Structure 1
Amino acid sequence: MDEEKLTMADFEDEINASFVKFRPGQAIKGTVVAIDEDEIALDLQSYSRGIIPKEEWSNDPDFHAMDEIRIGDTLTVIVLYEDESGQTITSLRQAKEVAAWETLQDALANHTIFEVKIKEVVPSGVITYLEGIRAFIPASKLAAQYVEDLESYVGKKVQVQVITADEDENRLVLSAKEVAKERLAQENAAKLNALQKGFITEGTITRIESYGCFVEIGDGLTGLVHISQICNKFLKSPKEVVKLGMKVKVKVLSVEDGKIRLSMKEAEDIAPEVEEAVNDSEETSMEYTDEEATTSLAGLLKGIQLDD
């Protein structure tokens, strides 16, 4: 059998590859052919092999190439230089930054929610990473309420939104506060929807006003017992028969517009200490308004905490 004759066309790919030259700063694509603890090797479709040294993987100190990248993956990298052995040294970190800032600008405009892990505490806030970019979360934006113990958040995951994305200043600021407050509002609405008219439960008096008392009934929910619903006698002041911290039985009268109206006198029974106080109190009348007989949704949200 005659030997197959080779022509220049058979070596076209190799010849073309030999002429490929990369310039510093150029964005190129390469296929991952090897990964170890110190570098990632790329096939750049040229005679020069691409190398991503460990320090050019990511800004995120927790990034591990062997966990997140697989052989055969196609990566976009930025050319840094050609070393003395002819290898093209590249940066995945820089390429990610270019794409990341575009993503972050879109996220800022669209109020996109991300989950991030808190890395460390710095003055007035904490540090995390988003899209490989170092980000700052102020203490006032870490939760629905101001966080005093920042150290307790290190290692925790929180949901955040972008509130500042300045590529020129390399400044990324995030907030978990708005996301947390929205979540609390949704959880609170679900709890309110679960309350049924006529439901009887025990609660604790947490606040006393001239027009009635506020009772914490559990799950962060607070309702108002109007002075007219404390007992079957007219009272000059709720303080004649109730006090802060007192355990009382209450009945749900209504749940409307995020407000809970409760009654002590329509519950199955009145706490003995209330009954005793009523018997000793003067029978006097007092004017009140419907507006005073409800508690606001803001009051209901007070005390609800996010799950870890």
Structure 2
Amino acid sequence: MFTQLDQTQENEIEELGLLGKPSPMPVINVPPQVESEYIKPQKEEVLEPFYKFFRDGKSAEDTSDSEDVSEEISMEEEEDKKVSVEYYEPKQGDFVVGVVVSGNEYKLDVNIGADLLGTMLTKEVLPLYEKELDNLLCDFEKNPEEFLMKGKMGIVRNEEALSGGPVAGQPVVEHGTVLFAEVLGRTLSGRPLISTRRLFRRLAWHRVRQIKQLNEPIEVKITEWNTGGLLTRIEGLRAFLPKIELVNRVNNFTELKQNVGRRIFVQITRISEDTNDLILSEKEAWNAKHLKEGTLLEGTVRKIFPYGAQIRIGESNRSGLLHISNITRGEFALVNDVLAIDEKVKVLVVKSMFPDKISLSTAVLESEPGLFLSNRERVFSEASEMAKKYRQKLPAVSTIRKLEHLSDALPFNVEENMYANWKWFKFERDNEPK
């Protein structure tokens, strides 16, 4: 039995060897191996070789060296605690104040109190574009009357500052120039990207919204025209006046073009900063100026009806109704007996019973009942005084308006609230008088 078993095992070994594999030796009655469990050494055992440098039994040299190292470490920790530098963290949309420290014809390096200097492209230095700037620069020596008007803001013109241009390799502005800007974001290198132009445009739109909220007519100068209407500038922003909103109707492009250079009063009717829409109306402004109750107007009789007369106001295409009951306090039979076509008259705007209708009166201009029938010239000569008395009898209207709070109101009164990095700067005057 044992011999046959041995031969069988030998044959199997030979067959395995022919396959090119190692021939296993037969193992008989070998006890299984028990894997020894890995025991993680204790922390004390691992650090044992290093403890000798910190024990009392170490040499005097080792002691002095370790003390020096520990003193140096403690001093460095104290210095780290004492020196703690705080920087302004720029965020997109922040208004900042900065000082120009270097630059060239392409960009400026501006210190805004951040860890990295801010970058401003030279095209973003000027507050507004060239055409926008022309409508804001005020030359009081040459044409002050063009800028001293209600609702107009401007920048005093300085020919010396405007005559110089950028030179290749030289900064656009001098070092130390203080600039006010808005943070647009970050450059690829992580530096804050800022713009003075964006800040001024934000302020211009805010100013325009304030003008609209006051709902007062403002005077503008027409600078351009197109097939749809007229173009002008308000606070440097481009504004559009549709031809349908003109007081005088235009019949062709020639009449429309003739309005370029004119100064007219307009009111802002629609604003959209997102789409750069600023729409104006001359009709609304005209109504606010001329159709207020108690306003004295000059007009021309255009048509006569049994119930009154249609009066054309001034040189405009607007007209109002002079009702038969408002012509005079005297007695007469027909309107034709009192008024004639194309006759010039002075009338007073009175309260109308119908909305959007213009109601006129000559009876309130009479100092005596029936004076319009007997002495019309005297009525017209006393018209200003009688109009003043009429306005004095009107109920008092409070001049203090409750204005709605602007959603984007800016704290112009306190700079440190408006500019996010104001506390990182200290401004001092040079050569102050002692």
> What TM-score, normalized by structure 1, do the two folds share?
0.49
**Which structure is higher in helix share?**
2
Instruction: Report the structure number with the largest CA radius of gyration.
Output: 2
**Which structure is higher in strand share?**
1
> What TM-score, normalized by structure 2, do the two folds share?
0.38
